[in-house]
A and B are shown apart, each in its own frame.
Chain A
Amino acid sequence: MSLTDMYNIALMQGFAGLSLFAVLLLMGLGLAIIFGQMGVINMAHGEFMAIGAYTIFLFSTLTQNYLPDAMQAYFPFAICVAFVIAFIVGWFVEWALIRHLYKRPLDTLLATWGLSLGMQQMFRSTFGPKEVSPTLPDWLMGSWAPSEGLDIPINGMFVLALTALVTGLVMLALYKSRWGLRVRATVSNRVMANAIGINTKKTDRLTFAIGCGIAGVAGAAFTTIGSTGPTSGQLYIVDSFLVVTFGGAASLLGTVVSAFGIAQTQSISEFFMTGSMAKVLTLSLIVLILMMRPQGLFASKVRR
């Protein structure tokens, strides 16, 4: 093997790690808002991602049947719709379920698990038990080969770019917008936030819905990588929660760093062992570190 070959393999391996990082971060972002900022355990997070994925599938099927000319353009539009649909469902779920449970985190966990089971069955009844994949526009297929022997998959780059965009928007929204200010005020002192005229109930609903919407975008993006089935959401849930807790629940930067760390550990160890053992190793490492440092990587020290 020549030196360029090794170099190329290292580059592609590095990119595989980066794609995984993007996937994990995108999964974690919505949860970082819902769990990290609001402290709500949304076990149906994965199902909100599935909503996004199924939206893309629906759009690709509709476009193919009725507007075949628009096949190249539907995707960005469908991602926005995925956000909107997940947002609306999230809004409704907060109203119907979550708002009754704010003071009982463990009960929220059980109730949202129940919700996730119901949603899974709904997916199964609507889209069938088989996994589905949308027909992707051509520009998302194939790979980019800047030089001989170097293949960078385009869908990976797309997810990476989307993740960067969404992360940027979330950061901007959380730290620069009125909504972000209200969320942060509500998080740090609900009673006081109420007293100074913040409608904390509305803030909660909006926050939950935005978190769900981002989950929808994440699910939409994942259709470029894999197929979607009724129980796909369940596969993501542990990873999403670990990304957020490992980073330190209330820290968005922590979520980014932890997604990066987890992704690199996973993809590097995958080089040396089977995929499942790499997963066991990565998860065990996270669990061990969380046992030693329960507050996660980034935690603020406050008087309790």
Chain B
Amino acid sequence: MDSLKALIKRYQLGSLLLLTLLLVVVLPLTLDIFRLNLVGKYLCYAFVAVGLVMVWGYGGVLSLGQGVFFGLGGYAMAMFLKLEASDPESTKIQSTPGIPDFMDWNQITSLPAFWVPFKSLPLALLAVVLVPMALAWLISFAMFKRRVGGVYFAIITQAVALICTVLIIGQQGYTGGVNGMTDLKTMLGWDTRTDSAKYILYFLSAGLLIASILLCMWIQKSKLGTLLLAMRDKEDRVRFSGYDVAMFKVFVFCLAAALSAIGGAMFTLQVGFMSPSFVGIVPSIEMVIFAAVGGRMSLVGAVYGALLVNFGKTYFSETAPDLWLFLMAALFIGVVLAFPNGLAGLYESHIKPWIARRLAARKAGATPRTPAAPTPPAPPASPMSGSAPPAAPAQA
């Protein structure tokens, strides 16, 4: 058993190592900066997908409003950048210089109070994480305490996504309306549009993403991770073992919100604008499919899912836009009916046994004294196997 645990650990960390290698070494060496910037953009969605693995895969709570948190993080970042871009010098042709252009167009003559903190980068960065978490707490605390879950939670989060889009579009003067916040060029004087800046931002995104996955892995390995799995199975038993299950759900929901928001902020930095089109119902539910394609229980799989779906979207929107929606439809139905564990599940059930067989065959041919290859016995693809929870900690 001791070795099995070590192997699972090595397998999980191994797949993360492989991902790190791909993101930090292989892709930067093989792709030009335009393509790499695109990958960087997809990685921002991967934050959301990783969060969804925690809240949906582990917590069993499906949120259809992750776009809201992605958007809030993105807008918080965009507000800082927009204020920097709107210094009195470059906006002197406006009737009120020194405020963002869209405010001027909407006859607003002074900076609204809630914009003022975003003049400071530290405050803006705090807002990136804290504002979405606060909203997530507000939504989830009231509902989880009243045992609202499953479908109802999904519908309410979807309604929140709709409310936010209508609000952002309706309040043009304060938010930039349907066009969003555009022309974001510099951060503290640093031009984010240069190639070198794009490289730096790409590596920053990749680094933050890997750190987030490590954090989530640590949470999964803790007792909290075990409790989340236990709650999915028998919520009442957990409750009647003296746990306030609502708070655990609130915690993962806030965690997922914070991760999505970091993704949103990185998105703004890399793309140079933020708009309500990333907030609404459609993008929010699309984000769920990233996690589903990767495997709803697999943190690393979620990243591949986000990369693959977004790559597909970009590719097909250019070559065969008519086909893309049909493909999305097939993806949604497919991950539900045919591959409930996504890519991670396929890897578990097909590729890993194949590798194991190949290794065994090679070993049989070679000297029999070589130490056993590090392949854990391939279990049938249970919902857990994507990223197996820690084996019994008895031997820890």
Measuring CB to CB, which residues of chain A are less than 8 angstroms from any residue of chain B?
39, 41, 97, 100-101, 104-111, 113-115, 117-118, 120-121, 124-125, 234, 237-238, 241-242, 245, 274, 276-277, 279-280, 283-284, 286-287, 290-292, 294
Contact = CB atoms under 8 A, between A and B. Distances in A.
A116 to B, nearest CB: 8
B170 A113 contact: no
B292 A238 contact: no
Contacts of A284: 163
Contacts of A124: 322, 325
19 contacts: A41-B151, A100-B337, A105-B151, A107-B340, A110-B285, A111-B337, A114-B330, A114-B336, A118-B325, A118-B329, A121-B322, A121-B326, A276-B170, A280-B163, A280-B170, A283-B159, A290-B148, A290-B152, A294-B146
A266 to B, nearest CB: 12
A120 B325 contact: yes
A108 B159 CA distance: 18
A114 B332 contact: yes
Contacts of B154: 41, 106, 109
Contacts, number: 115
Contact of B325 (A109, A121, A280, A290): A121
A111 B163 contact: no
B72 interface: no
B227 to A, nearest CB: 20
A136 to B, nearest CB: 29
A279 B168 CA distance: 12
Nearest to A121: B325
B150 A245 contact: no
A238 B170 contact: no
Nearest to A41: B151
A130 to B, nearest CB: 15
Contact of A280 (B142, B166, B292): B166
Interface string B329-368: 1111101110010000000000000000000000000000
Given A101-B336, A115-B333, A291 B151 contact: no
Contacts of B143: 291, 294
A245 B152 contact: yes
Contacts of B330: 114, 118
Given A111-B333, A113-B285, A114-B331, A106 B62 contact: yes
Interface string B186-229: 00000000000000000000000000000000000000000000
A110 B151 contact: no
A274 B139 CA distance: 26
Given A121-B322, A280-B163, 4 more contacts: A109-B62, A109-B64, A117-B329, A294-B152
A283 B163 contact: yes
A97 B333 contact: yes
B328 interface: yes
A254 to B, nearest CB: 14
A276 B336 contact: no
B52 to A, nearest CB: 12
Interface in B62-86: 62, 64
A242 B155 contact: yes
B336 A107 contact: yes
B159 A287 contact: yes
Interface string B156-182: 101110110011011000000000000
For the side of the interface on B, what is the size category? 35 or more
Contacts of B167: 276, 280
Nearest to B148: A294
A278 B64 CA distance: 23
Contacts of B322: 121, 124-125
A60 B152 CA distance: 39
Contacts of A120: 325
B288 interface: yes
A291 B288 contact: no
B289 interface: yes
B282 interface: yes
Interface in B244-296: 281-282, 285, 288-289, 292
A121 B326 CA distance: 7
Contacts of A245: 152, 155
A227 B337 CA distance: 35
A287 B331 contact: no
B170 A110 contact: no
5 tightest CB-CB pairs across the interface, nearest first? A114-B332, A118-B329, A276-B170, A121-B325, A291-B142
A156 to B, nearest CB: 24
Given A121-B326, A234-B281, A279-B166, A106 B151 contact: yes
Given A113-B285, A115-B329, A125-B322, A242 B159 contact: yes
A111 B152 contact: no
Interface centre among B282, B289, B292, B337 (most CB of A within 10 A): B337
B160 A113 contact: no
Contacts of B155: 41, 238, 241-242, 245
Contact of B332 (A101, A113, A125, A287): A113
B378 to A, nearest CB: 26
B142 A111 contact: no
A275 to B, nearest CB: 8
Nearest to A288: B142
A110 B325 contact: no
A160 B159 CA distance: 26
A299 to B, nearest CB: 12
A118 B292 CA distance: 18
